[in-house]
Structure 1
Amino acid sequence: IENRFTAYALKEAEGIKSIYTWRMLEFLTSWSTEKEGQRKISIKDYKEMMETPPSHKNADTIKRIIEPTIAELEKRGWTINYEKTKTGREITHVTFSWRKP
């Protein structure tokens, strides 16, 4: 059963203001058992995982969800970078690289 759930200390999630930050914390923790990691994900899958409103365009997702989420986690000691991948003029993928505190 332990392999099916993401485990993290509740102190890590204490005081998180945004549901998107909480979900991002869970995903980053589940994507890597080490203190650091990297993951490329399509914007479509990311929006589905985060349960963003369908009205959000890809650029809105970057500006309104990803950037504020990263800023909140960085205040907690995380180091997170992301790169956008475009296909034509549209942002289609995001690559996250992170280091836990």
Structure 2
Amino acid sequence: MRAVLAEVVWGITRTDTYLAAQYHRLARRKGKRRAVMAVAHSLLVIIYHVLREKKPYEELGPDYFDQLDTERTQRYYVRRLEQLGFNVELAPAHIA
């Protein structure tokens, strides 16, 4: 079952979904193999809850982690650009 879940996760990594975003986020920090096992565990938990509660799976979207703490994400990218030698001034975007 572990090998089957790992193969499923390798396929998921090439999609534009929450689980793919989770994989890429974890792979940067922990490595590809550990990230695959972590996402396989998440997939198993999702399958369990879908079967137990008899409710369809609701996709959170690939940008779920960016929306968790937008201020932290904003500070990270500003700091990163400043480290690269850019002066950064943020202004809110005008929505038409």
How would you bin the TM-score normalised by the shorter chain? under 0.3
Q: Which structure ranks higher in relative contact order (CA pairs < 8 Å, sequence separation ≥ 6)?
A: 1
Question: Which structure dedicates a bigger proportion of its chain to helix?
Answer: 2
Task: Give 1 or 2 for the bigger CA radius of gyration.
Answer: 2
Question: Which structure dedicates a bigger proportion of its chain to strand?
Answer: 1
